[in-house]
Structure 1
Amino acid sequence: MFILGGARMYFGEKIRMLREEKKMSQIEMAKNLQITSQALSQYELNKRMPDTGMIQKIADFFNVTTDYILGRTEIKNYEEKICEDQEKYSATTRQIESLSEDSRKELKKYIELLKIKESIEKTDEETSSALEKNA
């Protein structure tokens, strides 16, 4: 068995899930990857691990990263993640820009206040941790 990423999904389960999302049979996928259906079956059952070239080929086939397939991240595709993040930040920026000048100044002060609060909390945690170690 090949456990990748600790408690995360096994490599084989991950590629089986991706294949099933595309509603493909093992035979169809194996044909696309130019491997035998037996080899694919062994990958999906975690009885055999493909070489790095095949891992890359599988990732490319599903338009996901090798890190996703190997269980190192739950982000399937960084380009999609970046687009999602840009949309979130754009929405936030539009909200800020819709505020009056006075409200934006108040928001800036509030952000500075939150930074100070977090800094104090971090210092308190570090102090408590240091005291516990020395006790």
Structure 2
Amino acid sequence: MITLADRLKEIRKSNNLTQTELGKILGVGKTTISMYENGNSTPNDEIKLKLSEYFNVSVDFLLGKTNIKNHDYKETTIALHSDVDYKDLPQEAKDEIYNFIDYVKQKYKDKK
């Protein structure tokens, strides 16, 4: 199971930030970031929100409750159809699915 500690380290590194740099962004020290990433301490809700906003991810993603980084309409639409595995499709195929869903929604919206 993915933890907040895992996610924090992952997104910090993928954004090429050091613990010191992230600490400055959040207003905490490098040691505090290290404790978060090692699971020795948990950030309070205010810090979780700052992380969410800074990295443009949902708090649920930070907590390991979802693999959807943010609640973008398109990603949420695919998540709603979780009985079908879309993650291995190329982006072009995903875009076709999104476009088709938009088309159907528009078609039936006009009939109301």
Q: TM-score, normalised by structure 2?
A: 0.68
**Does 2:8 match 1:15?**
yes
For 1:50-93, what per-residue CA distance to the aligned partner results, in whole angstroms no more than 9, with x for missing partners? Answer: 111111111111100000001111100112xx235593231475
Alignment length (residue pairs): 86
Write the distance in 1 (CA, Å) between the matches of 2:65 and 2:5.
14
> Identical aligned pairs, as a percentage?
26
Unaligned runs of 5+ in 2: 78-93, 105-112
Q: TM-score, normalised by structure 1?
A: 0.57
| Amino acid in structure 1 at the alignment position of 2:99 | S
Aligned to 2:70: 77
| Amino acid in structure 1 at the alignment position of 2:14 | E
Write the distance in 2 (CA, Å) between the matches of 1:53 and 1:27.
19
**Which protein shows a greater Rg?**
1
**Does 2:23 match 1:30?**
yes
Aligned residue runs from structure 1 range 21-100, under 5 A: 21-79=14-72, 82-83=73-74, 85=77, 87=95, 88-91=97-100, 93=103
Q: SS where residue 78 of structure 1 aligns?
A: coil
More helix per residue: 1 or 2?
A: 1
Q: Which 4+ stretches in 1 moved above 3 angstroms?
A: 83-87, 91-94
Contact kept? 2:11, 2:55, Cα under 8 Å = yes
Write the distance in 1 (CA, Å) between the matches of 2:43 and 2:100.
42
CA RMSD of aligned residues (A): 2.2
